[in-house]
Structures are given as C-alpha cells and as structure tokens.
C-alpha cells in the first residue's frame, strides 16, 4: 500500500503541531539563553529580535520541507536527532549567507548566533526525546493506543501490519482483519460490519485498490451508523504516480495523483539551494570555463556555446546552454540524432568535454536564471520527448519539476545514449523516484555522488 506523505495541506496533525511548537519554543529559549551567556542579560534589542524571528521562521520552513514534522514519533531517536542536526546546520548556512551578502555580519555577535543555534538544537532535541520516551512508556502500558480493524486484500493487510510493527510510536493495534479478494456482496458487507462492532475497534481502515470502489462505497454506507472512525487507503500500485498525497483545496479533499513536490516551503528551500550552491559553484568554475572557451575557439570554427530548446517545468520551453562539443552541422527536418560512440561529428576537445561532463558547466547559468535546478531529471531534446511520451508510461511527468544538471538516474549510471527503449524506461523510473522522494538531503547526496563518480563515465560520449 502506498501511504500519503502526511496529513492534508491544511492544519498540521497533533504530533506535527507538538513538534512545531517545540521547535518554536526551542529557538526563542535558545536565543534568550545565548543572550544571557554572551551579554549577561536576556533583554534582546530589536536587531537581535529580528534575527531570532528569522531563525525561527527558517527552522519551521526547513523542517516542514524536509518532512521532519511528518513522522517524528515513529522515526528512530538517533535518526530523528540526526535529521534535526542536519536541518539546523542548513539554517545556520542560510543565516550566515544572508548576513554576509547583506553586509551586516559585523553588526551582530558571532558568538551569540552560534550559541543560539546550538542551544536551540539541544532544547528541541531534548523536548522531542522526552516526549517520545513519555509516549512510548504510556503506549507500552497499553494506554493511548487505537485499535484498528483492517479490510483489504491479504498482501496489502500484511504490509499494513508490518508498518504497524515498524512504527510502534504511532500507537496503533490490530483489532481484527477482513481479507477481501473479490468485490463483496451486500450480505458479506453486513457480516464485516458486524465483526467490526464486536471487535471494539476505534478505527476502520479500508485498504483497497481503486477498481473495488463499489465495495468501498458499500462499506461506507453500511458503517454510517457506527461510531468508529473510517479511513480509506487507496492502492495505486499499478500506476506510476508522483508524490501522491491528500490535499485540501477550496474546502474539498483531493487525492493528488501527479503533483509537484515543490510547493510552499519546499519551493523556497529548493530555490535557496540552487541560488546558494549554484552561486558558489559558478564562481569556482569561472576560470575553468574561460580555459575551455579558449580551447574550443582555437581548435574548431564556430561558437563556443551550443544552445538548444528543451522542455522545462510544466512543459515550458527554454534554451539550454552547453559548451559546443561537435562540428557545425545541420540535420534534415529538424531531427536530433543522439551522439554515439566514435561519432565523427564530435571534436577532439568535445570528446573530452563530454567524457568528463564539463560541457554541462554553462548550465549553471540556466540554474541562476531559475530555468533549471542543480539536481533534477535531465532535459531531453524536444524530438525525443515527442517520440518517447507514448512509449514510456508517465514519461511526461518528469516535467513536473525543473530539469537538472545532474540527477538520480545519472549517479546510478543511466547517462549517455539511450539506444534502447528499456534504457529510457529505466531512466524515467529513476527520475520519478527522485521526484516522489525529494528532500534537501537527497539533493546533497546526488551532488556528492556526482562529484565522486559522475563527472567521468564510460557511457558519456
């Protein structure tokens, strides 16, 4: 069964609200404590109060975007603290960058900023650990648990049961099960409802595929007079979906089947990542780009840069920039022929650039423009999109996010020529997995793997 990413995008759930309040309190208390340690008093001036509020806002945004509020009770204690530490480090990076670029670093005590971040992290970690331990003890004693009656196919129910065992902190217990293989007749539905009432379950979880909608409707009607809460967990295992979750739109609930994960705080975090990391990389690679430009210019006639339209987010076209690696040539009918091994069109300098991926460096300008991201699905030629969109399931859903300079498919060896349909299917599969599982830390992992093994690849030519 595919779970949603969390509660609908309205008010947070109770565990999320507890963690949110704990982090807000931690930042305020940490900054006050840092003021006392650094200055000997707690009365913060307006300047320091501004940084305190900025720190609190960034902590909430980063934790929301990284999913730290989603399942913090069910996550392991060490894993939760590590995630908090990573998020606090990123907040520290953002604050440092803001103070540096705004040229206000000298107006604030660096010790106070450092103490505030450390103290607030320690307080937030302590509150979560204490809350988690208290709830674990309460639930271990059999209190504060919700008995659940499960209805659905046997394989799905086994998966749900396994998730319950893996996440004891959520506080759910199985009160009974009804294994359903085929759509239920009216009398069978009545019998199931009777068993639910006898089990004393506080919740009923209907875990069925969409094609059994008639049975779901019948169960909902038969349960109308029961006091147990009813949840529907639709199964989408037969379809490649993106980031499916439940949202609240115009007062209505929506099961989002294909929606970009970059909304709200995640959108801001992704753009900050591209601007901060992209700016640093752009400065570092400037001398290398200048040397490459000179070599291209003196070794073959033609422009230094190659420009070509590609499809970006939501299907919008944009010009992608690369260092020219081929001799000037024209293709009939606007066709785009992929480079192949020992391709005669590739120059000697171009072969090296493609082998080392240095031909992609100008795309950092696309990133700073906001048309690409450092990490995301690689943009394909427009003609390739037209060819593959009807051959590869969910191919065009790659365009729910900005295309990237590097991606999950590339660091897993899916680079270079896609000379078979299976290769393209595999690349799309990896791209959709990235979109569905995006996090800031996944992006950092991909960037690190690209540096370690992604620049030189035998499949790139």
Does 329 score more than 70 pLDDT? no
- Between residues 139 and 411, the one the model is more confident about: 411
- Between residues 142 and 190, the one the model is more confident about: 190
- Between residues 344 and 2, the one the model is more confident about: 344
* Token pair 């129910």 in the structure block, residue: 157
pLDDT, tens digit (0-9, with 9 covering 90-100), for 41-95: 887 778 888 889 989 999 988 887 777 776 665 556 677 788 888 889 989 988 8
Mean pLDDT computed over 200-228: 86
pLDDT at position 333 is 55
Q: Return d(Cα 48, Cα 54) in angstroms, integer.
A: 10
Contact in structure between 461 and 417 (CB atoms under 8 Å): yes
pTM of the predicted model as reported, rounded to 2 decimal places? 0.60
Sheet of strand 229-232, all strands in order from the earlier edge strand to the far edge: 172-179, 146-152, 203-206, 229-232
Q: How far apart are the first and last CA of the chain?
A: 41
Q: Return d(Cα 5, Cα 59) in angstroms, integer.
A: 20
Concatenate the DSSP letters of all residues of 388-444 into one string. Answer: HTTTSTTGGGGGGS--EEE-HHHHTT--S---SHHHHHHHHHHHHHHHHT--HHHHH
**Class assignment of domain 146-256?**
alpha beta
pLDDT at position 421 is 86
- Between residues 166 and 252, the one the model is more confident about: 166
pLDDT at position 378 is 92
176 - beta bridge partners?
149
Classify 146 as helix, strand or coil.
Answer: strand
Q: Where are the domains of the chain?
A: 14-140, 146-256, 265-331+338-454
Does 119 score more than 50 pLDDT? yes
- Between residues 203 and 263, the one the model is more confident about: 203
| pLDDT tier for residue 405 given thresholds of 50, 70 and 90 | very high
| pLDDT tier for residue 100 given thresholds of 50, 70 and 90 | confident
Q: What's the mean pLDDT when you consider all of the chain?
A: 82
């Amino acid at each position: 069964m595919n779970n949603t990413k969390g509660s609908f995008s309205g008010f947070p759930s109770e565990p999320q609200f507890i963690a949110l309040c704990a982090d807000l309190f931690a930042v305020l208390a940490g900054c006050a404590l840092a003021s006392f340690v650094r200055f000997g008093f707690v009365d913060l001036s307006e300047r320091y109060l501004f940084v305190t509020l900025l720190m609190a806002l960034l902590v909430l945004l980063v934790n929301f975007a990284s999913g730290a509020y989603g399942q913090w009770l069910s996550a392991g204690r060490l894993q939760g603290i590590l995630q908090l530490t990573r998020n606090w480090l990123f907040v520290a990076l953002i604050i440092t960058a803001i103070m540096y670029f705004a040229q206000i670093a000298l107006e604030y005590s660096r010790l106070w900023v450092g103490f505030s971040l450390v103290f607030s992290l320690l307080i937030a970690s302590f509150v979560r650990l204490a809350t988690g331990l208290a709830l674990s003890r309460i639930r271990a004693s059999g209190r504060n648990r919700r008995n659940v009656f499960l209805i659905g196919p046997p394989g799905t129910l086994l998966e749900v049961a396994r998730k319950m065992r893996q996440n004891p902190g959520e506080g759910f217990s199985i009160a009974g099960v009804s294994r359903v293989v085929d759509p239920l007749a009216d009398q069978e539905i009545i019998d199931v409802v009777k068993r639910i009432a006898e089990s004393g379950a506080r919740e009923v979880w209907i875990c069925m595929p969409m094609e059994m909608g008639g049975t779901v409707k019948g169960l909902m009607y038969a349960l109308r007079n029961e006091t147990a809460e009813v949840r529907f967990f639709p199964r989408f295992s037969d379809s490649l979906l993106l980031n499916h979750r439940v949202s609240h739109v115009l007062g209505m609930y929506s099961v989002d089947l294909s929606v970009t994960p970059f909304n709200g705080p995640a959108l801001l975090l992704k753009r900050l990542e591209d601007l901060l990391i992209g700016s640093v990389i752009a400065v570092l690679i400037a001398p290398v780009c200048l040397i490459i430009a000179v070599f291209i210019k003196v070794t073959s006639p033609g422009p230094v840069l190659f420009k070509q339209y590609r499809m970006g987010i939501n299907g919008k076209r944009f010009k992608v920039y690369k260092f020219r690696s081929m001799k000037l040539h024209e293709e009939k009918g606007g066709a785009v022929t992929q480079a192949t091994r020992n391709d005669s069109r590739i120059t000697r300098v171009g072969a090296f650039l493609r082998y080392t991926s240095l031909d992609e460096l100008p795309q950092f300008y696309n990133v700073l423009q906001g048309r690409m991201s450092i990490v995301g699905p690689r943009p394909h030629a427009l003609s390739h999109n037209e060819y593959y969109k009807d051959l590869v399931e969910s191919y065009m859903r790659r365009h729910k996010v900005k295309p990237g300079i590097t991606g999950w498919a590339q660091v897993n060896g899916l680079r270079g020529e896609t000379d078979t349909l299976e290769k393209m299917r595999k690349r799309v599969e990896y791209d959709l997995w990235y979109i569905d599982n995006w996090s800031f830390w996944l992006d950092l992992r991909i960037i690190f793997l690209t540096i370690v093994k992604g620049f030189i690849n035998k499949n790139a030519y």
